[in-house]
Chain A
Amino acid sequence: MSQPVTERREQTIRRITAMKKRMILERPTELLPERALLVTAAYEEHAAEPPVMQRAYALQKVLAEMTLFMDDDELFVGHPSPRPRSPIVCPELGACWILDDLDSFATRSADAIGLTEENKFVLRDCLTKWRRSSLDAVVDRLLSEEVKNALDEGMITVGGRGTAQGNISINYRKLLAKGLRGIIGEIDEKLRTDMPRDIEGTKKRTFWKAARISCEAVITFAHRYADLTARKAEETDDARRKAELLEMSATLRRVPEFPAATFREALQSLWLVYTVLHIEADPHAILLGRFDQYMYPFYARDKAEGRISDEDVLELLASLWIKCTAIIKLMDSVTTRTFAGFPLFQNVTIGGQGSHGEDASNDLSRLILDAAVRARVTQPSIGFRYHNKIDPDMLYKVAETIREGLGYPAVMNDNCIIPKHLIRGATLEEARNYCTNCVETDIEGMTDSRAHSGYVNFPKCLLLAMNDGVDPDTGRRIGPRTGRLETFSSFDKLFAAYETQVAHFTRLIVDAYDLIDGAHAVHAPEPFMSSLLDDCIERGMTRQEGGVRYNFSGIFGVGLASVADAMAAVRKLCFDDRSVAPSAMMEALKNNFQNAKTLRNSCEEAPKFGNDDDYVDLIARDAAHIFCREVTQYPCMRGGFYIPELHSVSTHVYFGEVTGATPDGRLKGIAFSDGASPVGGRDRQGPTAAVRSMTKIDHQEVLQGVLYNQKFSRTLLKGPGEVAAFTDYIRTYCDLGGHHIQFNMISTEELRKAQENPSAYRDLIVRVAGYSAYFTELNRNTQDEIIARTEYEELS
């Protein structure tokens, strides 16, 4: 018997609110040693096995013995640690850095994690055993002095040194269609038919066995949860909850072992597996892929057969968002400082094209947006795939969701991205099935693209190019000798020197990351995740060894707009106008513009990226181009090649901290531009001009992606006409070839910040009264009035 609609909705709200409160809002973070202890014991018990087997046995032990978490309101279960917001510890990957940070986890200023003295003692004891054998210890022994110097100087960063690397989506379709039993069947078939004739064959069999152990362990894990839910069903007196629990228990007996038959089963199946992917190695950014595509058949069938209502789906999806946010990852203090808020970069893709290029958006895509707004939590974010045939209503709904100010959905442009996958080697049908990370895109279930293999500090490369490879701020030589600004006869000479520096540091990252990649293959294979990625089973190789169909390593260029602004200033002042002597410029940079106020003024007045001014925009384009050319020439260890990305996550803050003053007038220590976006506050000609600057960069050749983060005032999205105009604005960005655009809706809190620190918000446009104006140009009273009004609108 169905309930009345409002009552049903209230039930959802009650459940969501309660779960969110218990699992996130009122849940203190806590570091627990359980996984570390179980893994250590497993490695000790299986000391003679090869690493891939040790990893399988470790997973088996954890899944068999770990404390199971379950919230009283959950409708599907699974959590990677004994409690929500309790990160797991991977001693086999990061024992050294975790030991170093052990005393500061609980006290650090950003993202502190509770840790009792007793647990700290236990953890220290356990981690110490790994001091020589954990992945980070191995990597530390591999890296050259030159790379370590470049790391110390903040010229580059290199990823994967003490943690597993994610940005990957498993083949959810296959999991749901075959179940783990089906996957085991595939493995058994391989074991039966493929006998070793050489060492490669032996390695393959070892992997298959490890994968088999892992899959069986996950089935056992599901059965433990089935027992737990059955026991809870017995204990409760609430008839409705009892029914829910019994159904959950029955579901867990079937999935993920067998194919999923209903939406609920599919969700439980994928979530339990998702949980285990965290337990196995805890990478960041395990993607949920094209959720609205692989889940749609279940949704459509259940709905047609009356098994599920949209409200049921909303409830399940909102729970999914909460459960995603309840997982947090242990990160080191440096990363956390610039990365606050426990971001895990989980991501759901919606919209996009089907295999024939048709619009694939559907009712489930819309429900996903509604659920995210209801849950109002930070993870997972949503990537919306735009293309020319997109349903206008879908785009409108996306715009309305953006207005909610959650920071997502981000818009990804199929028109730009599908060709990238063709260049990267995919078939057209595969290319159309890409899913999104935050900016990167991968073909679901068959790509291991290792975003974050390394980051290059562009502006610091320029400083070295102006100063013969020596950091003007510290006087240390860190790059190749390329001459001094005073000796360059033209701007082109400076640019050539800059190219050499970028090439050098790109090369350093490649050298370092190839070694790290190899260390992962030997010491940190992931047999379980590999069994769910095409074509690892077929090839008999883990993803770390290159078993996945498409392999890449991504290198990120950081501070593109900052370096373009800086070069434009040097070009204008030292070469075109000749109003500043090169030696005076160098002197001013060295002294962080002290006593050089006029010079700094001129630097700030020079053309800035983001204003549709070719003078500087084309420098940005060229700087992006040479970076892409350098990166893509290198093959990567797993097959495939290196691919470039213009995105900084938050490394632009860190790189800014360790870089001296730059010719754009930026002082020492100040953050660089974010992604490929203009320097905050410097784009002053309105959003359309910024878009034109952004799209002068050739997004097509930046194979892993280009981030554009734009501040937008919610006051510009008030009425339906304004939302419609905004959708046209998004369309135009895509027409012009943009890869990705994401909007930061400005809250009143941020408007207040803009009052205090106007220079960072010069680009902020607000609607005043039938017209719009730059917020920082309004006088205080007007600003206050706008804040008051916006606040009122946010409440209503």
Chain B
Amino acid sequence: MTLVSTNERGIIYKIARYALHDGPGIRTTVFLKGCPLRCLWCCSPESQSGEPELAKREELCLTCSVCTGEPETCPGGALERIGREVTAQALLKEVERDRPFWRRSGGGVTLSGGEPLFQPQFVKEFLQRCRERHIHTAIESSLFCKRELLEELMDLVDYFQFDLKAMDREQHLRLTGLDNRVILDNAATLLRSAKSLLTRIPLVPGCNDGEPNLRKLGAFLERHRPGAFLEILPYHRMGVGRYEELGRAYPLPDTLPPTKEEMERALKILREYPIRVINEGGR
């Protein structure tokens, strides 16, 4: 594939260096802004909108007589601008500073979000540039994308990480705002391929932890890649503060993290299938 430099700018909101949970080795994870889904439990609401936005930490606000409205001049450091534009080339230069760490640990770059595939041109160009420089690439995606895009990505991405949030169409629509047919299609394609990947489920009590969903998930993985790894991510409320800072309401005010019993029940069901279940809480 030839490199098409489009000078397309991407919008990112964070780069995490020394990331250890987004693929093999020590990784540099780029968080892209914008996501078509609206998962009720989303812990990074700042990633959802595709536009830059402002967050405000009330506890730091000095309530000046006239609010400057600009992070650069806010004396309390209460305002934070989320999201900045970068070109693929500039981003590569920025992340490649970590190359000595990748080399040692077998790490590389991970694109996460939001939904990285929401900015396909930018992502493709960036990944191509990584390929040229022999950088290990990973992507963390909801897999809500066109089939053609996924096929192009198969050549550009070494490691996929994706969530299967709910197997039932209606349920998925209710919990994330979108139909899951494309997602399941894409997931099946990936699982049937030889790609390294990790499937995950955020276990959210009262949302997707019912026995039928878990059984469907187990069966799906069994059908498409027996022996697949499945990681369970117990729901947590670490994102609540972020909603406050953005002035939004938290969609799951009353949901609590799964109890030990709830976790065990889910594990027990999933372990009936010929897949390898990783319990992140116990890692």
Contact = CB atoms under 8 A, between A and B. Distances in A.
Given A612-B97, A692-B97, A732-B100, A687 B17 contact: yes
A688 B26 contact: yes
Contacts of A308: none
Contacts of B236: 768-769
B69 interface: no
Contacts of A780: 59, 241
Interface in B100-115: 100-101, 103-105, 107
Interface in B55-79: 57, 59, 75
B104 A770 contact: no
Given A725-B25, A728-B25, A785-B238, A770 B18 contact: no
B244 interface: yes
A593 to B, nearest CB: 13
B240 interface: yes
Contact of A770 (B21, B105, B240, B245): B21
A685 B17 contact: yes
Given A728-B25, A728-B105, A769-B236, A722 B20 contact: yes
Contact of B283 (A612, A719, A729): A719
Contacts of B75: 597, 601
A725 B16 contact: no
A735 B100 contact: yes
- Decide if the interface of chain A is mainly helix, strand, loop or mixed: helix
Contacts of B107: 725, 728
Contact of B101 (A722, A728, A769, A770): A728
B104 A765 contact: no
Contacts of A729: 18, 26, 101, 104-105
A195 interface: no
B100 A736 contact: yes
A732 B238 contact: no
Interface in B186-221: none
Contacts of A781: 237, 240-241
A687 B238 contact: no
Contact of B20 (A612, A689, A721, A736): A721
A772 B59 CA distance: 22
Nearest to A722: B20
A718 B21 CA distance: 12
B86 interface: no
Interface string A176-210: 00000000000000000000000000000000000
A719 B25 CA distance: 13
A601 B26 CA distance: 34
Contacts of A685: 17
A424 interface: no
Interface string A771-782: 110000011111
B21 A771 contact: yes
- Chain B's interface: helix, strand, loop or mixed, by majority? mixed
B224 to A, nearest CB: 24
B254 interface: no
Contacts of B280: 769-770
B16 A769 contact: no
Q: What band does the interface of chain B fall in when counting residues whose beta carbon is under 8 Å from A?
A: 20 to 34
A446 to B, nearest CB: 35
Nearest to A598: B75
A716 interface: yes
B97 A688 contact: yes
A731 interface: yes
Contacts of A407: none
A416 to B, nearest CB: 15
Given A688-B98, A779-B57, A725 B105 contact: yes
Nearest to B280: A770
A240 to B, nearest CB: 43
Interface in A536-561: none
B164 interface: no
A780 B57 CA distance: 11
Contacts of A689: 17, 97
Nearest to B234: A769
Contacts of A782: 238, 240-241
A769 B17 contact: no
Contacts of B234: 769
Interface in A720-756: 721-722, 724-725, 728-729, 731-732, 735-736
Contact of B233 (A686, A687, A770, A779): A770
Contact of B19 (A719, A728, A736, A772): A772
Nearest to B74: A601
A692 B104 CA distance: 15
B100 A718 contact: no
A722 B238 CA distance: 21
Contacts of B59: 779-780
Interface in A696-718: 716, 718
Given A689-B97, A725-B25, A735-B104, 13 more contacts: A597-B75, A688-B17, A688-B101, A716-B18, A721-B283, A724-B105, A725-B26, A729-B18, A769-B234, A770-B233, A779-B244, A781-B240, A782-B240
25 contacts: A686-B17, A687-B17, A688-B17, A688-B26, A688-B101, A691-B101, A721-B20, A725-B26, A725-B105, A728-B101, A728-B104, A728-B105, A729-B18, A729-B26, A735-B100, A765-B18, A769-B43, A769-B236, A771-B22, A772-B21, A778-B238, A779-B240, A779-B244, A781-B240, A785-B238
User: Which 5 pairs of residues, A with B, have the shortest CB-CB distance?
Assistant: A779-B241, A686-B17, A728-B105, A728-B104, A688-B17
